[in-house]
Amino acid sequence: MGEYIVEMQGIVKRFPGVLALNDVQFKLRPGTVHSLMGENGAGKSTLMKILAGVYTLDEGTILIEGEQVSIQDPRDGLAHGISMIHQELMFVPELTAAENIFLGRELRNKAGMVSKKAMIEAAQKVFDEWGINIDPSAQMKTLSVAQAQMVEIAKAIAFGSKIIIMDEPTSAITEREVARLHAMIAKLRAAGTAIIYITHKMDEVFAISDELTVFRDGTWVATEPAAKMDRNGLIALMVGRELTHLFPKSEAEIGDVILEVEHLNRGRQVKDVSFQVRRGEILGFAGLMGSGRTEVLETVFGIHAAESGTIKVKGKEVKIREPHQAIEAGLGLLTEDRKKTGIMGVLSVRDNMSVAALSRFAPGGILRKRQIEEECEAQRQALALKTPSLNQQIQNLSGGNQQKVLLSRWLLTDPDILIIDEPTRGIDVGAKSEIHRLMSELAKQGKAIIMVSSEMPEILGMSDRVVVMCEGRLVGEVSRAEATQENIMELATRFSEEAVA
């Protein structure tokens, strides 16, 4: 084997109306962590899906250990020692961890029957060797996201994979789980496994990477040793310009209280929560995962029925037990998981934009298609949405552009109060800056914005005021001037620390 375990040369991939990859190159050294960087739609995941056999290339060549290969499907990829852990984990929830590890190559006894016992024992051996603390007989649906990722890594190890591709592996796990994953990656690298790592998180890129490759608009831009690159230089390569304002928070006039929530309760996740938000204000909701941030705001929006408490909009108490009542009261909610609860993948960009405002577009029960087209096109231009047309299926857009469509959905309802849960999760740095700019513009228009975010720089950079959740309770509030990572984390862990003590 030469210097590289993987060489991809002149790779071209076309989708209807889109040139996804144009003459792309990529080289991977054995026993290294090579991170792929670029904005959403830059071609990172597409290139890796070609390497793993999920997509077939239109032009170009792939060499594995110096030999040209043809990878037509995932079985070909596995045969060449390539495993891919997708952003949306692919497993069978009803099967056990051991059964998922050996899915499609089940272990059998002497009589030729599938042996669950043998698979459990073999999975346990892998878990023990790699320090994975999971019961191999547990059903996948009972595992956390981080545990499911570990099972996928164990599957790649059991396959004897020499190359493991990880696509956004830390987008939905805690900092402690991220540290555990990074320790596993270090162990794999030490064993000679090559890791290809796709992420938008700058800090972890510099913490674990040996090399970085940057893509932009479906083309290769640069490959550099991570040690020779800094944050600003990497951003400039990714977006083709310097982003001097990652958090373009402009000053907005803070007006009257528009939303008041008092003594809201719902089970263990929402315990006696009270807060206010004013016109023109961006109110940040901080706290660890599982603290109740999302549950509070979904209860306010009527996704869950409150057990007790009051909600006032513009000083008037409103009854919100279903989302349509929240929309009528002037609220909008951009949900945490755009894949599961946001986009309708097979529908068009236009349909995804207009669905929440259909009652406005159909006075007297007659749908005004021309008005829908005009207003959706206006949103497309205002948000610099990258799509071949409004007829394009939303599932074919990048994550950042999907998020813009969902934001447009609520802007078409003209809400007074916009709740945005994890506004920039899983989107690139350029799209993040655009979403933040839009949030600032909406605040300047007098709209109240409530933002849940697990990213501390986003909370600190965009919030006028921050409230902090811990174990279902609102435990503190800090002004923009007072907000620091230290005092927010002190509040966010208050009850947990007291419980440990």
Look up the CATH number of the domain holding residue 48.
Answer: 3.40.50.300
With contact defined as beta carbons under 8 Å apart, do 275 and 444 qualify? no
Confidence of residue 180 (pLDDT cuts 50, 70, 90): confident
Q: What residue numbers bound the domain in which 369 lies? A: 344-414
Q: Is residue 339 part of a domain?
A: no
Give the per-residue pLDDT at 341. 74
Coil, strand or helix at 340: helix
Give the per-residue pLDDT at 496. 45
Task: Name the more confident of 203 and 266.
Answer: 266
Please give the average per-residue pLDDT across 469-489, as a whole number.
88
Confidence of residue 246 (pLDDT cuts 50, 70, 90): low
Of 390, 414, 438, the one marking the end of a domain is: 414
Claim to verify: residue 474 and residue 456 sit in the same structural domain: yes
Give the per-residue pLDDT at 430. 72
Q: Is residue 15 part of a domain?
A: yes
Task: Indicate whether 240 pLDDT > 90.
Answer: no
Q: CA–CA separation, 372 vs 178, rounded Å?
A: 43
Pick the range with the lowest mean pLDDT from 62-76, 375-389, 423-437. 423-437
Claim to verify: residue 459 and residue 401 sit in the same structural domain: no
Claim to verify: residue 254 and residue 308 sit in the same structural domain: yes
Task: Indicate whether 189 pLDDT > 80.
Answer: yes
Claim to verify: residue 423 and residue 375 sit in the same structural domain: no
Q: Is residue 189 part of a domain?
A: yes
Q: CA–CA separation, 4 vs 30, rounded Å?
A: 6
Task: Indicate whether 221 pLDDT > 90.
Answer: yes
Alpha helices (H) along 65-110? 74-79, 97-101
Claim to verify: residue 40 and residue 135 sit in the same structural domain: yes
Alpha helices (H) along 329-368? 338-341, 349-354, 358-361
Q: Is residue 337 part of a domain?
A: no
The fraction of the chain above a pLDDT of 90, given in percent, is 49
Task: Indicate whether 243 pLDDT > 60.
Answer: no
Task: Indicate whether 163 pLDDT > 90.
Answer: yes
Confidence of residue 498 (pLDDT cuts 50, 70, 90): very low
Q: CA–CA separation, 351 vs 408, rounded Å?
A: 11
Pick the range with the lowest mean pLDDT from 21-25, 196-200, 315-319. 196-200
Claim to verify: residue 305 and residue 410 sit in the same structural domain: no
Give the per-residue pLDDT at 497. 40
Q: Where are the beta strands (DSSP E) in 235-280?
A: 257-266, 270-278
Domain count, the chain: 3
Strands 308-313 and 257-266: antiparallel
Give the per-residue pLDDT at 406. 87
Please give the average per-residue pLDDT across 346-351, as a whole number.
90
Q: CA–CA separation, 325 vs 409, rounded Å?
A: 17
Task: Name the more confident of 341 and 279.
Answer: 279
Give the per-residue pLDDT at 157. 87
Q: Which residues pair with 270 in a beta bridge?
A: 266
Q: Is residue 338 part of a domain?
A: no
pTM of this structure: 0.60
Claim to verify: residue 252 and residue 154 sit in the same structural domain: no
Please give the average per-residue pLDDT across 122-130, as a whole number.
91
pLDDT digit string, tens, across residues 360-371: 888 888 888 999
Task: Name the more confident of 493 and 208.
Answer: 208
Q: Is residue 335 part of a domain?
A: no
Claim to verify: residue 377 and residue 444 sit in the same structural domain: no
Task: Indicate whether 210 pLDDT > 90.
Answer: yes
Q: Is residue 443 part of a domain?
A: yes
User: What is the chain's mean pLDDT, rounded?
Assistant: 87
Give the per-residue pLDDT at 499. 35
Q: Is residue 85 part of a domain?
A: yes
Of 192, 224, 239, the one marking the end of a domain is: 239
Claim to verify: residue 433 and residue 324 sit in the same structural domain: yes
Claim to verify: residue 356 and residue 387 sit in the same structural domain: yes
Task: Name the more confident of 338 and 107.
Answer: 107
Task: Indicate whether 200 pLDDT > 50.
Answer: yes
**DSSP state at residue 60:** E
pLDDT digit string, tens, across residues 89-120: 788 999 999 999 998 889 898 888 989 999 99
Confidence of residue 242 (pLDDT cuts 50, 70, 90): low
Claim to verify: residue 403 and residue 446 sit in the same structural domain: no
Give me the count of residues in the chain.
Answer: 501
Of 372, 392, 414, the one marking the end of a domain is: 414
Pick the range with the lowest mean pLDDT from 257-261, 286-290, 327-331, 481-485. 286-290
The fraction of the chain above a pLDDT of 70, given in percent, is 94
Give the per-residue pLDDT at 494. 66
Give the per-residue pLDDT at 1. 52
Residues near 380 by Cβ (< 8 Å), separated by ≥ 6?
349, 387, 390, 408
Task: Name the more confident of 500 and 56.
Answer: 56
Torsion-angle region of 81 (φ positive above 0: left; ψ -120 to 50: alpha; else: beta): left
Residues near 96 by Cβ (< 8 Å), separated by ≥ 6?
116, 120, 136, 137, 138, 139, 140
Claim to verify: residue 376 and residue 430 sit in the same structural domain: no
